[in-house]
Structure 1
Amino acid sequence: MEKSNFVDQIRIFCRSGHGGAGIKHFLRDKFTSKGGPDGGDGGRGAHIILKGNRNLWTLLHLRYYKNILAENGENGGHNNCTGRSGKDVIIEVPLGTIAMDEETGEKEVEILEDGQEIIWMPGGKGGLGNANFATPTNQAPDYAQPGLPGLEGWKVLELKVLADVGLVGFPNAGKSTLLSVITAAKPKIGNYAFTTITPNLGIVEYRDGRSFCMADMPGIIEGAAEGRGLGHRFLRHIERNPVLLFLIPADSADHRKEFDILMNELEQYNPELLHKQFLIAISKSDMLDDELKAAISAEMPDHIPHLFISSVAQQGLTELKDKLWEILNTSPAPEQ
């Protein structure tokens, strides 16, 4: 089996640095036999930081990093010297990455912009040396603070593809063929179900140098919301697509039923997906005459626009790009 370089989820153990301890020390030199406190503070433990990188599109580079252990801060020194802080660990991730705690499932960090840096796991604060505790009534404190511990635990990094348009449809509906025709992407294409097992991205060139991003997702099957087929692995990616393009093949036995199944799977997974903007494209329509097109149009829902295309015959693709561009640049009407 072909091994994919697309990795959209990893599990990793992370530990931020512990803070260095402050020290208890009193000034002693050849001129001073009983000097005051001069214990320095401990250094901060290293942070673990997530940074967005638009040139990355997968978490593959983190697959073999099972443990990320940040550096501890150094202890304080005499003569009020503060210990060195630990060197922060910066993890570069693709845009659309979510960091979660494995035990609680809570989302902790979300990276959406190139160059965006967020402290994911802060390092422990360094302890105060005894010089900080000197007062007029306590001029020789003989105690100092220990450094605070860092954070640690098993974490999950999950990538949700960022694209303007997501292709939704049953396996073998023609999604990969459409992407290969209107973009420079070269997805695997075959006449069998689940040809696509990972998302493929392509840039659609529009007029006047404008463009938008389209993602070909693995096909949905009935029961995907419960995890059947590629299940959640597919559905989580379309959460980030503002426009969903439903591809229904012209040779489908029941076009409306196919659309209703797709909508039901989206609703079962996350009802908020129904608030996105939709467009229906009847693919492989070069085999249809005007009478059949009229019959299929009558089956389609009135509130969702639809059109007929053929990727192989290059029919209706300009109209499709025009309609997608119009939807992408039109704010959705407020709900009543």
Structure 2
Amino acid sequence: MPDNPIQVFFDANVLISTGKPPGGPIFRRIADLVKGGFISVLTTDVTVQEVARKHVENDYEVIKELSRSHFRKITAETLNIPIREVTKEEIRTSLFRKYGAETDRMFKTLQAKVILIDSVQPSKIFFCLQQKEGFFSGEGKQHQFSDAFIFESLRQTATDELPIIIITNDDDFLAPTKGEKNLSVLRSVPDLFKHLDLEIKAPEVEAFLEEHNQDLVGLFDSELKNWSLFAADVEDAEIEVDSVSKVTLSEIATFDNAEKDGSHLVVGTALVTASVSYTHPDWETAIYDSEDKVLIPLGDSSGETEIELEVDFSLSILLKQESNEPEEIDGFEFRNDDFTWVTLHSDVNEY
């Protein structure tokens, strides 16, 4: 354990990938690092809002059809369940209320110190933009003012005695931190665990996962069915996951728990084979509207196919008390966002 907790800032994209509140196995490990005195967490008011907003957007895309009277009518008639009239604004307001409160609780679990970006003068940001300094010295896009304010607030907070590590999975903070002696970047939470020397060699874990491959297939099946899949090779496709048939693991890394509570965190990548059903406009028989310069499909094309996709995952394994050998899988989640692109028709040209 370090003499003083290391100050860590988690970019919104990293926290979002740890799962919806209250978070999955990786989030619980971050909380353990805080409780164990390994790290102290910094965040900004804008970051808290970004995390909540992303979860709102994801859920809104799923249930927004409830605002359409035609959808409510058909659903009520089909399921014999009355659905009250609701507007898009009501749905958004309800989701913001839910995720605003739950996201606040997540940050309280991390005992996070919240930095207000009002502490940064807007003139400073505009000066950096004009001079291509600070956040705008590298990959920072000119429209990313919120990230520029976040960067400046972190730069003002970091000191020689208390530097800050930024955990982010995009490139925006890489160039700006190069000239900052008190700011550094790590690309993932597992990289933070490695930085803290928590990675361990555990061949028995890989053997355990191999023995319990069918259990993993079931876990991947359940998780993938809650995902949104988008077709990369055909427009406007609706895809439903029927079942996962095969899971092949790679790039496995195992981390000890800072709290020494008899469990390991495992992160890795999996190649997943799944059967899906799909429906999309029949673009092969579509006619071209020369006035609007668009294709107009005359019908739909439906079918079933097998797809492969690569996903990052994390899981927690409980250990036997006497022998410290793996006993059971205790928690599981995907570390990607909750949507991904897949290829439906790998044997034909793109529509």
- Alignment TM-score > 0.5, same fold: no
Structure (1 or 2) with the greater helix fraction = 2
Task: Give the TM-score, by structure 1 length.
Answer: 0.19
Name which one, 1 or 2, has greater alpha-carbon Rg: 1
Task: Give the TM-score, by structure 2 length.
Answer: 0.18
Structure (1 or 2) with the greater strand fraction = 2
